[in-house]
Structure 1
Amino acid sequence: MTGLAEATRAERPTLLTFLRDELAPRPGRLAAVARIAGCCTLVVAIGMLYQIPLVGYSAYAVFLLGSRETVGTLLVGVVAALAFTIAVVLSLLFYTLDAAEPALRLPLMAASTFVAVFLTRTIALGPVAFLAGFVLVLSQTLIDRIPSLEALTRAVLWLWVVVMVPVTVSILVNFAIGVSPGQLARRTAARLLHTLADALRGHSAEPLKHAGAEAIELLEVREHAGKLDPSLRSRSAIDTMLIETLAELLVLLRLLPRSTPTAVRRQLAGTCEACAAALEQRGAPASAGIDPAPFDQAGLAPEVLPVVVAMAAAVERLRAGLVSRTTTNEPPAPAAARKGILVPDAFSNPGYARFALKTTIAVMAAYIIYSGVDWPGISTSITTCFFVALGSLGETIHKATLRMTGALVGGLIGGLCVVYVEPQMTDIGQLCLLVAAVSAVGAWVATGSDLISYAGMQGAFAFFLTLLQGYAPDTDLTAPRDRIVGILLGNLLMTLVFSLLWPTSAVDRARVSLAAAFRALAGLMRDESEAKVGSRLAAIRALGEARRFVTLAAFELRMLPARAWLERSGGVSLETLDRVAAAVFVVVDQQTVPDWQTAPEIADAARRHDQAVAAWLGACADRVAPGGQAKPLLPEPPRPDIPSERSSMEATTSLHTALEARELLRSELENAIAVPS
């Protein structure tokens, strides 16, 4: 068994393998690319025809507005419109105060940055606060370049138009030819079920590599669908249960032994296919269902039986849920409790204020530096400080790296087009073809995972700024040079500030996620009443977040002491914890066996074991949390204290299955701590 660091290094792919995986075609990707490229082309054409300033920024806004489904695009568009409206109004107000007072402008810029970044982390409308603060600070920097107050006012008012054009175009195009969130959710779930069925039949499970993350994302897509179709709100609970069951099946598949009989695999796969077909046809599954009970008498091996029974129970729960969803009308769900404007620990948690202060220091340092050397072209350093500011140093450096890579590639492509392609153009149609082609390339990268998507957005942005400098061909390459220098300055400032002032490591955030996963699993084991809808999802989501933060921790190198925890954390790997979670799900699915009443002593022993495992997992959560022990797992997991002679005499077949499930969990826990010295 290897620790987190060793497991991460062992599983980390080469750059070529990583790019091949990230850039591979996926369902819906080509359509999303076509929408983004088409919107960019329309925005550029409108900007050139009506001579709207900052056409490159308008085209880039399309990438920020892009979403896989219509409601996501609409929500982002509304947020952007609201944020820019607030920013324009505040900018005009601030101009009346500080246009002729540099001594007042600096404190106002610093205060605006601090408040915006603080509110980004502490209020529900954080994105509105972030965008409004970003635009407000940038508008204040325009005073240095546009001394005329009248011209300055006109420039700021044009900013609203610059944003509203891509917002309007993106929303209209997505509602015309985009995918509704309901359609996207059904297609994604059906595809995952088909792929799961193939894996059950013995085909490669490689297509399921990102399936867990896709299943979790279905929750957000389902929420968006409810905003578009109010009738779905009454089915919120059952839909959450269906998504959770799908995610559980994907986790249980990791635990299914290769020795599972083909007939059993085919039966499970057949029901998965029936559920997928029901989703595609928006009806009830044609399958008659699957009964887990006969598997108890099927003569399956001890390591196979409990997993198969758990998967059969989950598949049947999925099938029954789809039937219930189409045949019953649930009463409207009760209104959710209204949340406060601020998060509960907004003022008690110093992390929010520290994060805002660090970002403010970097932003103001960038402004003072480029103003001091009289080089306004590198004002992109301020933009960099805003957009790469994330919760941990690893996340910040990762995003800064993507920003730099995208700027270099996009600037190079734009420069080559300015020198060799643009002089040959004779009309706007040729320009639109070039914009569409390069936008499609950037959009293909931008529709990848979070590990690479920002590079595609920044590549497109650098290309737009290089090519679209005015309303006529321009061979000046000063803009891309200055932009790259500004990005370098911003990256340097953010790295220094975030590594020296209250540094937060991605490892610490990984430990928080791991602790949350342990606590969720402990809650499931504590009592069957705790196994409510959403509990399994909480554990699966937390493990996914931990995996993401461990990956991002690689960007910190050895800059922070917390990084060393990965080297000392022998005793747990994320793959091992996935299997432990699956084993917990197997036990939980068989906590309420009816035959417990026939053997009360065995039932009591099993419950004591479950309580002991819950306490053990809770203790592990305390150890893995930031400030805990180096090794997160306790040395000895609990063992089922059930006399073998009593269990063989009194236990029915279903009881034997439940007991085998606990033996399986014990085995997985022992494997998790079996680290060679």
Structure 2
Amino acid sequence: MSMIDYLPCSFQRFARFVGDEVRPYPGRVNVMLRCVLTSALVIIASMALQIPFLALSLIVVFYVTQANVVMTRLVGVLFFIGSTVAVGSAMLVLKLTYDYALLRILAAGVLFFVSVYLMRVVKIGVVFFIVGIIVIYVQTFVDLTDQAELLVRLVMWVWVAVNYAIALTLVINTLFLPAEPAQQLDAAMRRQLGVVDARLGDFERGASTAPALSALDIQTGMLTLQKLLRFATMRDPEYRRNQALQLARVAAVSRLYSATLYLPASAEGISADRVPTLRAACRELDRAIQAGERFVAPGALATMISDGVPGALLDMRSALLSFADRSATPDAKESDAEKDRLMVPDALTNPVYAQFALKTLMAAMFSYVFYVATDWQGIHTIMLSCLIVAQPSLGASSQRAILRIGGAAVGSLLALAMLVWIVPHIDGIVGLLMMSLPVIALGAWVTAGSERISYAGTQLMFTFALALLEHFGPTTNLTEVRDRMIGILLGVAVSTVVHASLWPEAEGEPLRQRLARLLRQVGAHLRQDEQKGPIPAPLWAELGDCEAMSARVALEPGWQWGEGQQEALTLRIQTMLAQAREILLAADAFDAERHALRIPEGTEAAVAALKDALAGSLDDYASNLSDHPQAVRSPSAVSLNALIDRRASDVARLRDDAARAAYDRLLVRARNLANEVSSLPGWDVASTNTAYITRASQT
């Protein structure tokens, strides 16, 4: 047993969560190194040229540095536009209202309200986020001095601090360690093909040396390839000219990767040349991707006899031949109307957006009044926190608040330790870099993780930099560390109270409706009769969105069905989403065996009836989930008797061992699919209590 097993249940879950989030993955070191290198140059430049607001420059580096060059340039351009508009707007407000405090606050409030509103309804909302945060931040400058010229200089230095950091980040990301999306896509496809080759080798030997795949691995692999293909198309004109070929290649690799999940246990009874032929074809595809050449299917693959071959192997053969012929059909793309649309469809009719902007403005104004009334300069982060924590839902706001507080706490502790033990011994830029860069590297590593933890890394670095790097010389003032943390805590508290009290945006009900819609889509996918490629990427994306939404809902303070049932209800949702994923892959495996077996018309009718009955069970479950959630029961088991009878009749007539084995594989897949559907959890109170008790006993 590991040390984690001796911790309480909640600490075990937290330790496993942190362990999963900080583990390395391809490309994470690259992102961290680019952040660290750019940050080092920014520190040297700011200290040498005495450019103020170093912490602001560093956080810009973290925001602009993205996973690949395309996203880095896009975010950099948006930050340049946003900072320029923000500084211009702030200076205009100061010019017109400098001598009239009330009018200045009203003008800044209106500008802040419009920025937060546009942040919610416009696709490039990050631009208006920058406008809002700079406008409210500049108001703190007015209280530092009564000299208008000095105030203008401070505002102009904000623009310089932001944009020179953007320019330096773009240079570093273009010239050093550039992460090209086309190269990332090729590497990701080759990794998946490596897994396919290893799994086929295990299947051929009857051994198990390759790591086991899960349904989540298949989903993540498909979405990763689709995302990288989108970035590569944006970056490379060659990809845009050959978009159909690139889509076909991604579809082929995804289909090969998903087919490995339902390979039989061994190759017993299969001709010895079948698996080596497929492995050779997969290796040829890998070589073609590496060399940038067109894939040509080996002749042995086209002439391979399909009788008696399991559905997973035939699915692989079909994927390779389809790609060689470029006959794969690309997924439906976003319509031109969706691409051209700048704002959300209900931007002018839905009152939620205006309510969100008003709540955020009220929280910021309450914080500003407290900041001015107490004359506590060190807690100016109280206003910034109100905008940073403001998210479209209570769960998302809670998640952001937790990450902000957690990152700030770790950054403050590191800054405190440096102030006590390291700063007194530093007398030059080398010592400053040796002290700062390890902390920046830690923050960059966390920032390069998933959305569930990335903001904590940015906040860790920013809090550390605010405490130690805002001056052009050593600082030993411990009160700055304290004040920054107090400002963050107060801002989070004010924002949480305001957003939870006024027009709270809970996602519990939308999540339930979205889950029901997801299950209907799974049922529609199950009913399809034609030979399918990989599970459509939009369906995987919808499943991923539901998972992210359920994580936010779990953090909502009021979404509970009875006292003590929050954890049990969250478990129900997670179980349902996991089952939906398993149903999709079980349906794929069943269809692969079905198309591998040449079955008579009567058996085909029994197969169609089974699929329709299973899809009907999903539709009924979804309808109850949508309309009567507390009465939802697990679907009843669908009978396989009709398919079993047809199998017995066909095998007795054919008297063929290969046909019998093929029918047996089909029946196994059918039983597995039916079991996955009937394993969907009940949402009634009794099921929830049972799940809660079971979960408690396991942990």
If the TM-score is normalised by the length of the shorter chain, which range does it land in? 0.7 to 0.9
Equivalents in 1 of 2:522, 2:251: separation in Å?
14
1:662 to 1:290, Cα distance in 2 relative to 1, 3 A = farther
Structure 1 match to 2:4? none
**TM-score when scaled to structure 1?**
0.84
Structure 2 match to 1:453? 454
Matches within 5 A, 1:282-301: 282-284=292-294, 288=298, 297=308
Please state whether the residue corresponding to 1:630 is helix, strand or coil.
Answer: helix
Structure 2 match to 1:281? 291
Q: How many residues align?
A: 651
Structure 1 letter corresponding to 2:22: L
Q: Are the aligned partners of 1:605 and 1:640 in contact in 2 as well (CA < 8 Å)?
A: no
Deviation (angstroms), 1:552? 4.2
Deviation (angstroms), 1:284? 4.6
Deviation (angstroms), 1:162? 0.8
Please state whether the residue corresponding to 1:297 is helix, strand or coil.
Answer: coil
Matches within 5 A, 1:409-428: 409-428=410-429
* Greater Cα offset, 540-549 or 576-585: 540-549
Structure 2 match to 1:574? 577
Q: Are the aligned partners of 1:525 and 1:588 in contact in 2 as well (CA < 8 Å)?
A: no
Structure 2 match to 1:142? 141
Q: Are the aligned partners of 1:388 and 1:396 in contact in 2 as well (CA < 8 Å)?
A: yes
Structure 1 letter corresponding to 2:103: L
Q: Deviations over 1:568-596 (max 9, x none)?
A: 58594433222111123334557878957
Q: Are the aligned partners of 1:242 and 1:318 in contact in 2 as well (CA < 8 Å)?
A: no
Structure 1 match to 2:240? 233
1:556 to 1:669, Cα distance in 2 relative to 1, 3 A = same
Structure 2 letter corresponding to 1:406: G
Equivalents in 1 of 2:544, 2:478: separation in Å?
43
* Greater Cα offset, 234-243 or 417-426: 234-243
Q: Are the aligned partners of 1:113 and 1:133 in contact in 2 as well (CA < 8 Å)?
A: yes
Q: Are the aligned partners of 1:411 and 1:463 in contact in 2 as well (CA < 8 Å)?
A: yes
Q: Are the aligned partners of 1:609 and 1:641 in contact in 2 as well (CA < 8 Å)?
A: no
Kindly indicate whether structure 1 or structure 2 has the higher relative contact order, using CA contacts under 8 Å at least 6 residues apart. 1
Structure 1 match to 2:345? 344
Structure 2 match to 1:499? 500
Structure 2 letter corresponding to 1:459: L
Equivalents in 1 of 2:325, 2:146: separation in Å?
67
Matched, 1:220 2:231: no
Matches within 5 A, 1:345-424: 345-424=346-425
Deviation (angstroms), 1:486? 1.0
Equivalents in 1 of 2:414, 2:483: separation in Å?
16
* Greater Cα offset, 315-324 or 32-41: 315-324
Structure 1 match to 2:164? 165
Deviation (angstroms), 1:85? 1.1
RMSD value over aligned CA atoms?
A: 3.9
Deviation (angstroms), 1:358? 3.0
Equivalents in 1 of 2:147, 2:276: separation in Å?
75
Structure 2 letter corresponding to 1:297: G
Structure 2 match to 1:36? 35
Equivalents in 1 of 2:512, 2:243: separation in Å?
31
Equivalents in 2 of 1:655, 1:348: separation in Å?
57
Equivalents in 2 of 1:385, 1:67: separation in Å?
25
Percent identity, aligned pairs only, is 26
Equivalents in 2 of 1:482, 1:71: separation in Å?
38
Equivalents in 1 of 2:259, 2:355: separation in Å?
41
Deviation (angstroms), 1:232? 0.8
Matched, 1:517 2:523: no
* Greater Cα offset, 411-420 or 273-282: 273-282
Structure 2 match to 1:52? 51
Q: Are the aligned partners of 2:553 and 2:559 in contact in 1 as well (CA < 8 Å)?
A: no
Deviation (angstroms), 1:36? 0.7
Please state whether the residue corresponding to 1:438 is helix, strand or coil.
Answer: helix
Structure 1 match to 2:485? 484
* Greater Cα offset, 243-252 or 211-220: 243-252
Matches within 5 A, 1:294-333: 297=308, 308-309=310-311, 311-320=312-321, 323=324
* Greater Cα offset, 630-639 or 469-478: 630-639
Structure 2 letter corresponding to 1:582: L
Q: Are the aligned partners of 1:539 and 1:581 in contact in 2 as well (CA < 8 Å)?
A: no
Structure 1 letter corresponding to 2:580: L
Q: Are the aligned partners of 1:62 and 1:166 in contact in 2 as well (CA < 8 Å)?
A: yes
1:268 to 1:504, Cα distance in 2 relative to 1, 3 A = farther
Structure 2 match to 1:190? 190
Structure 2 letter corresponding to 1:341: L
Equivalents in 1 of 2:528, 2:643: separation in Å?
22
Equivalents in 2 of 1:195, 1:594: separation in Å?
27
Structure 1 match to 2:120? 121
Matched, 1:18 2:17: yes
Query: Which segments of 5 or more consecutive residues in structure 1 lack a partner in the other structure?
Result: 1-8, 299-307
Deviation (angstroms), 1:93? 2.0
Deviation (angstroms), 1:171? 0.8
Matched, 1:68 2:67: yes
Please state whether the residue corresponding to 1:225 is helix, strand or coil.
Answer: helix
Q: Deviations over 1:626-655 (max 9, x none)?
A: x65136566336556846544544598588
Equivalents in 2 of 1:612, 1:590: separation in Å?
19
1:647 to 1:594, Cα distance in 2 relative to 1, 3 A = closer
Please state whether the residue corresponding to 1:174 is helix, strand or coil.
Answer: helix
* Greater Cα offset, 660-669 or 370-379: 660-669
Q: Deviations over 1:161-204 (max 9, x none)?
A: 11111111111111112121100111122223323543563235
Equivalents in 1 of 2:508, 2:251: separation in Å?
27
Q: Deviations over 1:539-584 (max 9, x none)?
A: 2222223333434444446665599576358594433222111123
Matches within 5 A, 1:648-663: 648-649=648-649, 661-663=669-671
Match of 1:205 among 211, 225, 235: 211
Deviation (angstroms), 1:99? 2.3
Q: Are the aligned partners of 1:503 and 1:560 in contact in 2 as well (CA < 8 Å)?
A: no
* Greater Cα offset, 258-267 or 664-673: 258-267
Q: Are the aligned partners of 2:54 and 2:469 in contact in 1 as well (CA < 8 Å)?
A: yes
Structure 1 letter corresponding to 2:233: G
Equivalents in 1 of 2:155, 2:173: separation in Å?
28
Matched, 1:550 2:546: no
* Greater Cα offset, 561-570 or 208-217: 561-570
Please state whether the residue corresponding to 1:672 is helix, strand or coil.
Answer: coil
Deviation (angstroms), 1:293? 8.8
Query: Which segments of 5 or more consecutive residues in structure 2 lack a partner in the other structure?
Result: 1-7, 203-207, 692-699
Equivalents in 2 of 1:291, 1:618: separation in Å?
40
Structure 2 letter corresponding to 1:666: A
1:549 to 1:638, Cα distance in 2 relative to 1, 3 A = same
Equivalents in 1 of 2:350, 2:209: separation in Å?
49
